[in-house]
Amino acid sequence: MKKWIPIATGLAAGFVAATIAFANVSPSLTTQASNSNTKSDAEKVYVPYGQKDEYYLFDSGGHSGQLFVYGVPSMREIRTIPVFSPDPATGYGFDTASKKMLGGYTWGDLHHPAISETNGNYNGKYLFATDVGNSRAAVVNLSSFTTKDIINVPNTSGPHCAAFVTQNTEYLFLPTRFAVPLGQEYQPLDQYSTKYRGVMSALTFNESKEKLNIAYQVALPPWSYDLSDAGKKSSGDWAVLTSYNTEEATTTLEINASQADRDYIVLFNWKELAQMVKDGKYEEVNGQKMIFPEKEKGGIYLVPVAKSPHGVDVTPDGKYFIASGKLAPMMTVFSFEKAFKAIENKDFAGERNGIPILKYKSVVEREVNPENALGPLHTQFDDKGYAYTTMFISSEIVKWNYKTGEVLDRVPVQYAPGHSVAAEGDTASPQGKYLVSLNKMSKDNFLSVGPSHPETMQLIDISGKKMRVIDTVPANPEPHYAQMIRADKIHTINVYPKDPSNPDAVYKQTDTRIVRKGNEVHVYGTAVRSRFTFDHTAKRPDSIEVNQGDHVFIHLTNIDFDEDITHGFAINSYNLNMEVQPGQTNTLDFIADKAGTYPLYCTNFCSALHQEMTGYLLVKPK
């Protein structure tokens, strides 16, 4: 049993209550140690050689811009999927298609992954994600674990809370964390309340084209919109998001955005909003269809909530939404049914910016306030109807019954959990079994690597009455949200199928050729163990000769239709690398601006003769 010495110092600097909270949490460690179990913790996380994990965990890479894939329960990292930032190892952001997709950005901040859903359950086909850093959204194909499309979302700044999808992936909503003037034009901050907006965007996904589209946007008041979730079943047409800084402060938000006792949950009916757009009740703003709630009524309501909330999560039965207090030490359970009734009866307590405010009392179901639990952020669910809420400040997970408010168990985590993720824990059918706590600060869990410690993920067995931490692993910065899906729901391809319609693809060495069009040179080549062929008629088929200043396109097809035989392609001193997976065609284009002789080689070890898989790029001086 590990012995934890809580280190309050610095961890929750500024939170006076931190020490008290730790003092409260510590005794339960003893309870955990004496919680005898037939299987040891080591056995529970051990996946024997030759066997596979039961779940995939897709973990947000935060400000790395990437997505990390783990297996659960082994907690082994299997793959990094580059999404919003380049990845030199796979050549993502180097090859022509992914470079275009990244649009010149070399950084992203991926907070929330969301797996596509059918009837409120993960279908394992796609994963969506948003970039808070550069206001983008992306879609990852889960048959190849590759990013297929990235879209820039205008009129918005820092789409944080999403991606969250509706129960049949009709929409993907991106509410914004920062309010900005529409189109991000210059406006003095003194004009904040009148000229700034917090825009929420509704995106659709065209599966056959694997393309994201912006369907419409809503110009919400200039507040910060934080987390959000879509309804399920009886609340399936609705979605909720939390707001803060309804004070509309423009400086020192730490103090000024926490003045008012209440902020709001935004409750909206996305079907009604879509109908409004159909009926032309919108204005065109920078090419987008923008609904202005102060001009067109309907579809959006405000629910008062304890100040500066963070997460809001819909229960698996779709009946309630739970707001986590962040600053208020409680979880507030709201009833959709009550909200619908209040809307029907027009039982409003006024409005803000034209949006009706529902009465807190007419929507709230209960407030749950576990003793000394501080900083509730996010809630997940299991298969038995229990909720699990992360407590950032008191560093624990609280298990509770959202139908009765009864607190059932608490387990300390090390330290400061943001989100947690349970197996399919935000769907209509959570699996129970496992919960992973995504911790912001590890504090001495691992060998020292200097002043900044790695983050951690802690695997918690939630199958029994008592939660039990069974493993702790280091995590790359920075786990925000994650999604855990049953492994048998993911169907990956073994090789890329031949695509006769792709003009860049060459499937036979005898079809390889180099075509010149003015100063553009197109190389249609193949890679196969263990040689490149760029022009089969040439004296040296594995070398390319161009003139200085030529725009060179290398279209390379991996004709090893054999699982896991991936080739790479790099040109020495040209700062270029790309990858071609089995059966895949990929293009790299560059200006041959440096004259000289440059070896080219395969970067991915592919056979015993991998070292021999080389050639030359000869650039003839002008």
Alpha-carbon gap, residue 543 to 557, rounded angstroms: 16
- DSSP for 102-139 reads HTT-----EEEEEEEEETTEEEEEEEEEEETTTTEEEE
160 binds, among ligand CUK, ligand CUA, none (CB under 5 to 8 A by kind): ligand CUK
Which range touches ligand CUA (CB under 6 A), out of 228-236, 383-391, 540-548, 606-614? Answer: 606-614
User: Residue 112 in contact with residue 161, Cβ under 8 Å?
Assistant: yes
Alpha-carbon gap, residue 277 to 191, rounded angstroms: 28
Residue 462 backbone zone (phi > 0: left; psi -120 to 50: alpha; other: beta): alpha
- DSSP for 18-71 reads HHHHHHHHTTHHHHHHH---SS-HHHHH---TT---SEEEEEE-BTT-EEEEEE
Which range touches ligand CUA (CB under 6 A), out of 9-17, 270-278, 484-492, 601-609? Answer: 601-609
135 binds, among ligand CUA, ligand CUK, none (CB under 5 to 8 A by kind): none
Minimum CB distance to ligand CUA smaller for 95 or for 296 = 95
DSSP state of 78: E
| Alpha-carbon distance values, 332 to 17, 162, 310, 403 (Å) | 21, 21, 11, 12
The β-bridge relationship of strands 172-174 and 300-306 is unpaired
Smallest distance from ligand CUK to CB 614, Å: 45
User: Residue 244 in contact with residue 222, Cβ under 8 Å?
Assistant: no
Which range touches ligand CUA (CB under 6 A), out of 91-99, 311-319, 488-496, 599-607? Answer: 599-607
307 binds, among ligand CUK, ligand CUA, none (CB under 5 to 8 A by kind): none
Smallest distance from ligand CUA to CB 507, Å: 17
Residues 6+ apart with CB under 8 A from 587: 95, 96, 97, 504, 553, 554, 555, 556
| Alpha-carbon distance values, 257 to 16, 200, 253, 327, 506 (Å) | 19, 20, 5, 11, 59
Binding-site member from 604, 615, 617, 619 for ligand CUA (CB under 6 A): 604
Smallest distance from ligand CUK to CB 227, Å: 6
Alpha-carbon gap, residue 612 to 324, rounded angstroms: 59
With H, G, I as helix, E, B as strand and everything else as coil, classify residue 100: helix
Minimum CB distance to ligand CUK smaller for 177 or for 433 = 177
Site string for ligand CUK, 120-159 (x = CB under 6 A): ----------------------------------------
Alpha-carbon gap, residue 382 to 570, rounded angstroms: 48
Q: What are phi and psi of 296, to 5 degrees?
A: -120, 110
289 binds, among ligand CUA, ligand CUK, none (CB under 5 to 8 A by kind): none
Q: How many residues form the binding site for ligand CUA (CB under 6 A)?
A: 9
Binding-site member from 610, 614, 616, 618 for ligand CUA (CB under 6 A): 610
Minimum CB distance to ligand CUA smaller for 527 or for 619 = 527
Which range touches ligand CUA (CB under 6 A), out of 10-18, 54-62, 496-504, 605-613? Answer: 605-613
Contact set for ligand CUA, span 222-261 (CB under 6 A):
none
Minimum CB distance to ligand CUK smaller for 298 or for 454 = 454
Binding-site member from 99, 125, 136, 160 for ligand CUK (CB under 6 A): 160
Q: Does 567 bind ligand CUK (CB under 6 A)?
A: no
Site string for ligand CUK, 94-113 (x = CB under 6 A): -----------------xx-
Smallest distance from ligand CUA to CB 88, Å: 16
Take residue 534 and report the two structure tokens written for it: 């760029």
| Alpha-carbon distance values, 517 to 512, 523, 552 (Å) | 16, 11, 10
Site string for ligand CUA, 547-576 (x = CB under 6 A): --------------------x---------
Q: How many CB atoms lie within 10 A of CB 458?
A: 25
Site string for ligand CUK, 287-316 (x = CB under 6 A): -----------------------x------
Residues 6+ apart with CB under 8 A from 593: 548, 549
With H, G, I as helix, E, B as strand and everything else as coil, classify residue 183: helix
User: Residue 80 in contact with residue 110, Cβ under 8 Å?
Assistant: no
Contact set for ligand CUA, span 511-530 (CB under 6 A):
527, 530
567 binds, among ligand CUK, ligand CUA, none (CB under 5 to 8 A by kind): ligand CUA
Q: Does 606 bind ligand CUA (CB under 6 A)?
A: yes
Binding-site member from 93, 418, 430, 582 for ligand CUK (CB under 6 A): 418
Site string for ligand CUK, 471-490 (x = CB under 6 A): ---------xx---------
Alpha-carbon gap, residue 240 to 237, rounded angstroms: 11
Minimum CB distance to ligand CUK smaller for 112 or for 319 = 112
| Alpha-carbon distance values, 52 to 46, 122, 562 (Å) | 10, 20, 21
The owner of tokens 């800084």 is 245
Contact set for ligand CUK, span 171-230 (CB under 6 A):
227
Smallest distance from ligand CUA to CB 92, Å: 18
Q: Does 588 bind ligand CUA (CB under 6 A)?
A: no
Q: Does 326 bind ligand CUK (CB under 6 A)?
A: no
Alpha-carbon gap, residue 11 to 475, rounded angstroms: 18
Minimum CB distance to ligand CUA smaller for 446 or for 605 = 605
Smallest distance from ligand CUK to CB 7, Å: 20
Q: How many residues form the binding site for ligand CUK (CB under 6 A)?
A: 11
605 binds, among ligand CUK, ligand CUA, none (CB under 5 to 8 A by kind): ligand CUA
Binding-site member from 519, 575, 593, 605 for ligand CUA (CB under 6 A): 605
Minimum CB distance to ligand CUA smaller for 373 or for 613 = 613
Alpha-carbon gap, residue 530 to 568, rounded angstroms: 11
Alpha-carbon gap, residue 483 to 333, rounded angstroms: 23
Take residue 192 and report the two structure tokens written for it: 């904040």
The β-bridge relationship of strands 196-206 and 172-174 is antiparallel
**Chain residue whose CB lies nearest ligand CUK:** 418
- Nearest alpha carbon to residue 275 among 294, 295, 297: 297
63 binds, among ligand CUK, ligand CUA, none (CB under 5 to 8 A by kind): none
Binding-site member from 69, 457, 602, 617 for ligand CUA (CB under 6 A): 602
531 binds, among ligand CUK, ligand CUA, none (CB under 5 to 8 A by kind): none
Cα angle value 192/195/196 (rounded, 5°): 65
The binding site for ligand CUA (CB under 6 A) comprises 527, 530, 567, 602, 604-606, 610, 613
Query: Which positions lie near ligand CUK, rule CB under 6 A?
Result: 111-112, 160, 227, 310, 377-378, 418-419, 480-481
